[in-house]
Amino acid sequence: MAMENTESITVGSLDEAIDSFNEKNWEFDDNIRAKLEEIFSEDEGDVLEVFDIKVSTENRSYNELADMFKENDIRIPDVQRKFVWDTNKCSKLIGE
């Protein structure tokens, strides 16, 4: 059902939605506010967990990294795609 005098807005949070309504001088009642709260509360379950990640900068040689991989000091995450290049192709890229 098409509605006349409609406008679309893109917001990322409930506060942004309310601010947009106020900036445009749109009227909204408790029903609209409740619906907005419902929409934005659904996304909260999809939020990624926050991890405490420590980052450091170190220069390591290829051989040192290869040894660390063999000794399981470096682990390839499950989301990492599998290797698609063979050793020969990789060495050509590095050598160029």
> Is it the case that residue 7 has pLDDT exceeding 80?
no
pLDDT digits (tens, 9 = 90+) for 48-59: 566 777 777 888
Across residues 22-40, what is the average pLDDT?
81
> Is it the case that residue 24 has pLDDT exceeding 50?
yes
pLDDT tier, 71 (very low <50, low <70, confident <90, very high otherwise): very high
**Exposure string (b/e) for 56-91, b if CB count within 10 Å is 16 or more?**
eeeeeeeeeeeeeeeeeeeeeeeeeeeeeeeeeeee
Report the percent of the chain where pLDDT is more than 90.
5
Pair of tokens at residue 46: 């999809």
Q: At what angle do helices 14-23 and 30-42 cross, to 10 degrees?
A: 150
